[in-house]
Chain A
Amino acid sequence: MAENARPDAALTGLDGVPHTGEAIGADGMLVEPQAEDFRSAKLAPREPDWFKGAVFYEVLVRAFTDSNGDGTGDLRGLASRLDYLEWLGVDCLWLPPFYASPLRDGGYDISDFRAVLPEFGSVEDFVYLLDEAHRRGIRVITDLVLNHTSDAHPWFQQSRAEPDGPYGDYYVWGDDDQRYPDARIIFVDTESSNWTYDPVRGQFYWHRFFSHQPDLNFENPDVQEAMLDTLRFWLDLGIDGFRLDAVPYLFEQEGTNCENLPRTHDFLKRCRKVVDDEYPGRVLLAEANQWPSDVVEYFGDPEVGGDECHMAFHFPLMPRIFMAVRRESRFPISEILAQTPQIPDGCQWGIFLRNHDELTLEMVSDEERDYMYAEYAKDPRMKANIGIRRRLAPLLENDRNQQELFTAMLLSLPGSPVLYYGDEIGMGDNIWLGDRDAVRTPMQWTPDRNAGFSSCDPGRIYLPVIMDPVYGYQALNVEAQLNNQSSLLNWTRRMIEVRKQHHAFAEGDFTDLGGSNPSVLAYRRRWRRPDGHEDIVLCVNNLSRFPQPVELDLSEHRGARPVELTGGVRFPTVGDLSYLLTLPGHGFYWFQLVEAGDEGETR
């Protein structure tokens, strides 16, 4: 400990802010901020199943709005845009990590679970955001990385400096780098081993991600308690849930690939029990980039409606939506949905088209990955890790019809949709920025300086705003699209509104209707309302750029009438023959099937 006298010495910018490791107790434990030290937010209305029908919106605090002119978005800035998000129809914000961090992995390298990254604001600012969001009926969840910390975290500093101290066993240390050889290396671009030698402690430490992110040792009961207390800290302040990052990797076991181990599930059950017992109505969302058959394990026991995470992302669906449209064939989507098992009653998938990471191609075969690279990453700079770093609009070559088709599928396939900030206006990306920053540029609000994101000197901004002639902020911004009724923004808002009018989109069961035309994906969502009435929605998507006919077998609904949901137009009644529809290139329909004699639209 010669060079760093204090365990928090590696933390930067936290002077004068409560943080972990300012002092050490008599028992050798680091002093950590407590929830009681802060004001708590007023809670969101109690509504246990809110997440099943919610529209999520992933927003990077850094990228949304800068309230203090320092060139970086912050929590107060985000709070100032809540009216916009409420207008759009967003039910829940998902914030990637805003914790104290050296920012060597976009904030996923957390150096203090109980402090906010100073440039984003303070814990008080977060509570203010929560209050303002809850006032508008918007909930807020954030990422919590259970698996690892930054190497700057005072826990790790203590662990390496004092192997026999209370933190000595907080991480996975080894005398050699030979254990767990069957665990794959996730960041193949930058890491050559899951072990790295630490000269301070003279041992190797285990890390599934970057070498500056040592894995926590969940074998240690103290670590488990410490992480549960981390959950409690934010839940006490009023947060509505967590997206648990990198959950499959919590435990290690020789002779396995160290993913999805039973003890990992046991720990998640403990987390869930804390939520259920102490904070009902809050949610846990698993980030497990695995096959659906493995991911369902993270929902827990179906007998009790699920006793681990309430939600999990459906990762393989997203690349297949892209593949299906490019191949003009529904099979990539139909296949993955057919392989997706039932999930427990109390659970819901989260689905998305794009997020802050690259378009993940881990969950496709090698052959399919080559195909996706060829189709969607024409420039080598568009590739990152095992994926493609592009936003939705550029991925679709700025084709409005395809953007609408993709969004319509996102809003109607089974699962709660997660929008990525900026995609509602069709924002572009900048592939010349490093790592995954291509898709993390400032939100484009107005044609003014810095796109209305910040009043700072343009040179000070954290990433340049998009300025190219197609996606540049001067033409492509929220203000311009608000004023244009036919804009993508207004269209997206309208579709979210329609989605919310039919609970079948949220919880309806899903049936792939097949059909004679491979380029048309048609499915039915059927929801039985508590009063016994059924809300049946029929979605028909033309994955081809050419007009297509499709004959659907709707014999089960003979006599029913499809009513188009955006305009209310009543289509011909379903008869004995298969139901013929024609669609324009990349067109889609949403219908409600209304029983004979039942006039008008029911909801």
Chain B
Amino acid sequence: MNPVTEQHDLVDKVMAELPAWLPAQRWFGGKDRPVTAVRPLRTSVLSAADPVLLHLVVEVEQPDRREPYQLLVTDVVENYDATTEPELTGRLLDLIAGNASVDGLAFAHEPGVELQSGLRGRTITSEQSNTSLVFGSQYILKLFRKLTHGENPDLVLQRALHEVGCEHIAQPLGSITGSLEGLPTTVGMLQQFLPDAVDGWAMATTSVRDLMAEGDLHADEVGGDFAGEAQRLGHAVATVHGDLERALGTQHADAEDIDRTIRAMVTRLDSVVEAVPELRPFVPALRAAFEQARDTPGAIAIQHIHGDLHLGQVLRTVQGWLLIDFEGEPGAPIAERTSLRSPLRDVAGMLRSFDYAAHQLLVGRPEDHQLTVRALEWSRRNRAAFTEGYAEAAASSVGDPRERGYLLRAFELDKAVYEVAYEHANRPEWLTVPLSSIARITGEGAR
């Protein structure tokens, strides 16, 4: 068989397997309905033989939905998935290092960057909606699994941040660009890898664990106090917001923007409460809180933001805190992900995350008043420290979020409503976390 026939043959075999294989993949975004068909859109031959390495863009058809995904396939493993083969994935790095173009895929390193080639790429397991490969201890390549038309905001924003010298991101080093319906589309992004990094969730839950083991000590008394870290994290987030503003500009939200934002919150509330009756008692207070956001004094700045900020999207390194994954909420439409929004959304996302970190050890345990009080204490202390750190660094740019208390509260409640829907659908035991937060926030009023 000649190589070309061999490759066609391989593609056919892969296509036949995919409807069953895809739903078993963690990164596959369409697990809620059956896969009815998979069609190849484009094939690029990265290695013609011994072994074959193909880059495929396929269209996955499901009821009411057709979405493009990328795959890396080979003939040497039974399930054809090449991403788990360190010897093969090294080829991707070599191509980026060489600024190569292969069958419509453009591999490129960032200007002025020199890459070491010949490294093996191993997959890391923490990724959820994409696949990331680590080369040596230097580079990390993120392969976006579900493709969105055009340049990926992750690459666009991090490039812009790097250009203005942002210290709180990992340096972008290269990219892989394919094409989707004639539009150049980012399929991969190479960045500096930080082997010493720990994600913020692991850091925060280490502290919570310490507190919970010392039932008789307050959050500010235990050795594992996190407030210093939380404050530095707030500082880092505000700095990134300031850098995004410097790099890509800012605007003032007009009345229509604000109206649209608040209507979206109310719409979400209405749809979630249909599915989750536990939310019903809070509806009047939630509505009132959303409406009150209109009373936010002064102009509201909107700009590019992270879009899906939580403790899992920040890394503690020996140089300080970094933000990663500027893709925005993977489930949201691309137009929303790239639109200008208030940086307070990111702040609210992080505040919600502190609440989650504080309460995660309590989920599934019998009610324990002492631990609940401690969790709340930890959450209050670290949310305050984060906000304080943010306010310090945002003084000359975004401003003190506490001065926009109504709006911040509305964003936080909106996020909590989203969490209610998510937990109801996926982890009913966790439903108490967002519900108790909603009860508390609506009971306390705006800070």
Contacts and interface: CB of A to CB of B under 8 A. Distances in A.
B195 A513 contact: yes
A5 interface: no
B203 A512 contact: no
Contact of A338 (B195, B206, B318): B318
A375 B223 contact: yes
Nearest to A337: B318
Interface in B263-310: none
Nearest to A365: B228
Interface in A534-590: 544-546, 553, 555-556, 576-577
Nearest to B209: A546
Given A327-B223, A328-B206, A329-B206, A576 B122 contact: yes
Interface in B212-227: 213, 221, 223-225
Contact of A516 (B122, B198, B210): B198
A517 B198 contact: yes
B202 A517 contact: yes
A410 B207 CA distance: 25
B137 interface: yes
A132 to B, nearest CB: 45
B213 A514 contact: no
A173 to B, nearest CB: 46
A126 interface: no
Given A328-B223, A331-B318, A555 B210 contact: no
Interface string B208-252: 011001000000010111001000000000000000000000000
Interface string A44-67: 000000000000000000000000
A18 interface: no
B321 to A, nearest CB: 11
Interface residues of A, number: 28
Interface in B183-210: 194-198, 202-203, 206-207, 209-210
Contact of A518 (B221, B223, B228, B316): B316
Contact of B206 (A335, A519, A555): A519
A556 B206 CA distance: 29
A545 B213 CA distance: 10
Contacts of A334: 196, 318
Given A514-B195, A576-B86, A576-B122, A553 B206 contact: no
A335 B137 CA distance: 18
B318 to A, nearest CB: 4
Nearest to A325: B223
B120 interface: yes
A328 B197 contact: no
Interface in A309-354: 326-329, 331, 334-335, 338
A374 interface: yes
B206 A512 contact: no
A36 to B, nearest CB: 54
If over half of B's interface residues share one DSSP class (helix, strand or loop), that class is named, otherwise mixed; here it is loop
A371 interface: yes
A553 B318 contact: no
Interface in B114-137: 120, 122, 126, 134, 136-137
Contacts of A37: none
Contacts of A328: 206-207, 209-210, 223-224
A367 interface: yes
B314 to A, nearest CB: 13
B224 A327 contact: yes
Interface in A107-143: none
Contacts of B210: 328, 544
A553 B121 CA distance: 12
A514 B197 contact: yes
A556 to B, nearest CB: 8
Contacts of B120: 555
Contacts of A375: 223
Given A327-B225, A328-B210, A374-B221, A514 B196 contact: yes
A367 B134 CA distance: 36
A329 to B, nearest CB: 6
Given A544-B206, A553-B195, A555-B122, A326 B318 contact: no
Interface string A498-529: 00000000000000111111110000000000
Contacts of B198: 514-518
Contacts of B197: 514
A68 to B, nearest CB: 46
B227 to A, nearest CB: 9
Contacts of A545: 213
A326 B223 contact: yes
B228 A367 contact: yes
A553 B137 contact: yes
A553 B123 CA distance: 12
Contacts of B228: 367, 371
A518 B260 CA distance: 42
Interface in B137-161: 137
Contacts of A331: 316, 318
Contacts of B196: 334, 512, 514
A358 B382 CA distance: 32
Interface string B82-93: 000010000000
A367 B66 CA distance: 55
A538 B162 CA distance: 35
A518 B202 contact: yes
A348 B202 CA distance: 35
Contacts of A556: 136-137
B208 to A, nearest CB: 11
Contacts of A367: 228
A538 to B, nearest CB: 15
Contacts of B202: 516-518
A334 B202 CA distance: 17
A126 B209 CA distance: 54
Contacts of A514: 194-198
B268 to A, nearest CB: 34
Contacts of A577: 122
A518 B200 CA distance: 10
B122 A371 contact: no
B221 A329 contact: no
A282 B225 CA distance: 46
Contacts of B224: 326-329
12 contacts: A326-B223, A327-B225, A329-B224, A331-B318, A334-B196, A335-B318, A371-B228, A374-B221, A518-B198, A518-B203, A545-B213, A553-B195
- Give me the 7 closest cross-chain CB pairs, A-B, nearest first: A514-B196, A326-B223, A518-B198, A338-B318, A514-B195, A334-B318, A335-B318
Given A553-B195, A555-B137, 7 more contacts: A328-B210, A329-B203, A331-B318, A374-B221, A517-B202, A518-B202, A576-B86
